[in-house]
Structure 1
């Protein structure tokens, strides 16, 4: 793949995802959140820069969280805010920010909308433990809230709940200029166009150009994707890519 550096683009808002859970690392649970969040953020003008997956170990969570939140505009975490002993995300986030954590009356009120008082046992009340100073993220599915502290947004790992939380918090986020993209099928293998494509990318440093090989009924092929926040620069780069592809097809007799 060939890509140019787009870090100088205007109105850049960046993000990272921190996925928390032994079950993801073991393969027992297949992550369905990363792709959803990535597409969601792209559509609202936030560029996903990093994704990390860490186990249910507080030191690992704190270390990753502090690294990510120092580099990106936002960090979104998924997993580890449930009722069981290994759901330690809230405690870890509190530790990362150096604040206390306790049962939050607002969170208890949300849980009470679903559970009668006699069912709000110790395990369920764990989901109401919120770091001091955090804002709550509404959960229209199961009522147990997520929360936001600093530039970190803590969400559930269950996809339907995470998606509801993301919808709830999205209007509060700062967004940048949306990334536009265009795709052309090369009709050639990635190795056939790699050198020429690098030259096109070099000539258009303000766009991102990537090549993605695939197999079809006709054999190996490549999609070339051009991405930019500037529609004119996108069109100019795509025109150059198409000119290059036509030249390479002619050279190879395709």
Structure 2
């Protein structure tokens, strides 16, 4: 469902292993790029430990501020997988084994092996809708504006594919990139003036080392309206051309 209003999102990454550096997050960039492409603006990212009160506080802050909150991590079978309990607490609802979620687990796990630890993956807050998981079958869930997904990248991606068609989306952000062939500090002043002259347009500069190892800069212009993007881009290119000529 598309709307002209901005649709916003936050990402809440849950897990001590992310904060310790033991596990390198691969989900934030993927989710942000995916959502941007369909017209959902990621406005904030937080990483919290496996502490229930920390998760609850972050959830309540984020879900009040943004259209959607996407969480990753903490819905596995171990004792420190407490995301589902924290979400239930944040929403003030009960949590118990969900019959449909249990049936999903049985598509992959023999009933004889469905022990107490594995059954934790079927515990769902009351009132939540399940998010199917074609990879390992253990579902995520969606309650209110909070979408709870696994931390394993391939499973998270499958869950995101499941929920994406149901998301409210806004106008897609358009962007163009131009290589400045200049140091970031050399174009910072005029770039700021161009940004002031084009409200509704976002202009960013991103330094890099070019193929000869010299400092260079990519300039990225973003806007939702093609005409606004074209006008700002024309001024950026004119500024770069004048700098090279002068």
Same fold? TM cut 0.5: yes
Moved more, 143-152 or 110-119: 110-119
Shift of 1:193: 0.6
SS, match of residue 236 in structure 2? helix
In structure 1, list runs of 5 or more residues that go unmatched. 1-8
Aligned to 2:85: 91
TM-score when normalising by structure 2: 0.97
Out of 28, 47, 50, the residue aligned to residue 53 of structure 1 is 47
Q: Which residue pairs with 2:233 in the alignment?
A: 238
CA distance in 2 between partners of 1:50 and 1:234 (Å): 24
Q: Structure 2 matches for 1:202-217, cutoff 5 A? A: 202-217=196-211
Q: CA deviation at 1:217?
A: 2.8
Residue pairs, 1:17-28, within 5 angstroms: 17-28=11-22
Pairwise mapping of residues 1-254 of structure 1 onto structure 2 (< 5 A)? 10-218=4-212, 219-251=214-246
Aligned-residue CA RMSD (Å): 1.0
Query: TM-score, normalization: structure 1?
Result: 0.94
- Once residues 53 and 248 of structure 1 are traced to their aligned partners in structure 2, the CA distance between those partners, rounded to angstroms, is 42
SS at match of 2:103: helix
Q: How many residues align?
A: 243
Separation of aligned partners in 1, 2:177 and 2:235: 13
Q: Which has the higher contact order (CA 8 A, sep 6+)?
A: 1
Which structure 1 residue ranges, 4+ long, deviate > 4 Å from structure 2?
A: none
Deviation at 1:10, TM superposition (A): 4.2
Per-residue CA deviations over 1:173-225 (Å, capped at 9, x if unaligned) read 00111111000000100000101000000000111100001011341110000
SS at match of 2:133: coil
SS of 1:154 mapped into structure 2: strand
Instruction: Tell me the SS of whatever aligns to 2:25.
Output: coil
Give structure 2 stretches of 5+ with no counterpart.
Answer: none
Name the CA distance, whole Å, in 1 between partners of 2:73 and 2:243.
47
Q: 3-state DSSP class of the match of 1:183?
A: strand
Contact 1:188 1:249 in 2 (8 A): no
Secondary structure, counterpart of 2:69 in structure 1 = strand
Q: How far off is 1:149 after superposition?
A: 0.3
Local SS of the residue matching 1:178: coil
Alpha-carbon distance between aligned partners in 2 of 1:190 and 1:57, rounded to the nearest angstrom: 41
DSSP 3-state at the match of 2:164: helix
